[in-house]
Structure 1
Amino acid sequence: MIRVLVVDDDVRVARNHQELVESVPEFTVVGVAHTAAAALTQVRGHRPDLVLLDLHLPDASGLSVMRALRSSTESGTPQPDFLMITAVRDIAQVRSAVHGGAVHYLLKPFPLSVLRDQLERFAVARRQMQGQGEATQQDVDRLFGLLRPPAARSLPKGLTATTVDLVAGVLREAEGELSAAEVAERSGVSRVTARRYLEHLCADGRAELRMRYGSAGRPEHLYRWVV
């Protein structure tokens, strides 16, 4: 499980983010904090893998929390990753967050589906980074692509973000594997269209393809959500 600490000064927002995180497979919330002091205490006590960190906290900035944890983490102790979630739009703050090691920066307000998407991408990237052996340039490009902001990633020609979300949702909610024809039926798109979007999700690291061979004819392509 990926252990998450939610840090936000707004109790309602923190609760919404907690519920969203707990609805995503592989994720669990180990704590919720509403101040910088509480965040520092809970990170040291719970050792989360990921911190959803608001920049605007009543006693200090989220950036100061991140810097304090980066500088005080004991040698050899795994450091948490930080996903900044804030209404602060100052470019200097954004730059500081990126330089400080934030994996992404989400600006409020945003649909909760955007947070879900980023969590799923984080899970895939983290799983791939835990693999053994040497990385190729393709591996590196894929990892950085998974963590890049959605708006910065260009879709292949002819694909739209809306249909990507539609096909991804069908695959995510399925119990097990689906063929392109089954995805097409459930999403309301053509089989050819479903196949294109499924191939994109596989290349993006969020879906996997398995070939099922029968006694005769072409093998059947089956897809499953990997997060």
Structure 2
Amino acid sequence: MTLLEVVIVEDNQKVSRTHQAFVEKVEGFEVTGIANTIGEARLLLNTLEPDLILLDIYFPESNGIEFLRELRASHHSTDVILITAAREVEMLHSALQGGAFDYMIKPVFFERFQESLTNYRNYKKQMATAGTLTQEEADRLFRKSAPAVSMGGDDVPKGIDSVTLKSILAVFENEDNKAMSATEMGQVIGVSRTTARKYLEYLISEGLLTIHLDYGTKGRPERKYRLEKSEAGGTI
């Protein structure tokens, strides 16, 4: 089976390595290049012809949306999936205008990442075998080429903010899943200990975190939280 070639464009090297590991876990794909700047991406595309680019939006020297527009203006046929922290509706609108295949908001669990690449693989297979189309086939293919946005927040209870949840999960990911107390988490994300503990306990109830007691040297034991083992390394 011919593998679909992927180029990763992401300024955070740790995140780009996570992207690469995720891609390698999905059947039918291989990473052929990694760029940490838009300039590096341009150079890569002078020699590579990837099927798919996994593209961040925010870069110190440029913008992923502008790069997407640049690709389309030059009639480059490479497809693009945006994986970004950008939550603004304007960014999504720009992604739609630029013909992005999908739009995922960080942190992204592997299951969502796998779903996106699987949809893309099926889309490429159908496009390669399609001759003339019925309306039903056209509808199916067109829907698969329109971004499916994963923003979260639709199924969280009242009083729980999905942005704060994602921030907490991102902290564990960026800190290599170091166990943290509610006080420590609150200091990192800029909320009170009480608020941080509310969110951490909610994530416990959802099976995303585990807890252990740190007895230290004196006083009451402190509750420490970390990602559930099955989730560790599973978000972007």
Q: What's the TM-score bracket when you normalise by the shorter of the two chains? A: 0.5 to 0.7
Q: How many angstroms apart in 1 are the aligned matches of 2:13 and 2:42? A: 18
2:116 maps to 1:118: yes
Contact 2:119 2:144 in 1 (8 A): yes
Q: Where does 1:60-75 land on structure 2 (aligned, <5 Å)?
A: 60-73=62-75
Q: Which amino acid aligns with 2:8?
A: V
Shift of 1:151: 6.5
Secondary structure, aligned partner of 1:116 = helix
Match of 2:58 in 1: 56
Shift of 1:16: 0.5
Gaps of 5+ in 1: 153-227
Match of 1:87 in 2: 85
Match of 2:21 in 1: 19
Shift of 1:150: 7.1
Q: How many angstroms apart in 2 are the aligned matches of 1:150 and 1:6? A: 19
Match of 1:220 in 2: none
Contact 2:104 2:150 in 1 (8 A): no
Match of 2:132 in 1: 134
Match of 1:146 in 2: 144
Shift of 1:63: 1.0
Partner deviation per Cα, 1:130-177 (whole Å, 9 max, x = no partner): 11421111112222343452769xxxxxxxxxxxxxxxxxxxxxxxxx
Compared CA separation, residues 54 and 150, structure 1 to 2 (3 A): closer
Compared CA separation, residues 131 and 96, structure 1 to 2 (3 A): same
Match of 1:38 in 2: 40
Contact 1:63 1:97 in 2 (8 A): yes
Identity %: 34
Gaps of 5+ in 2: 152-236
Match of 2:100 in 1: 102
Q: How many angstroms apart in 2 are the aligned matches of 1:150 and 1:72? A: 26
Contact 2:104 2:149 in 1 (8 A): no
**How many residue pairs get matched?**
148
Q: Which amino acid aligns with 1:53?
A: L
**TM-score, normalised by the number of residues in structure 1:** 0.61
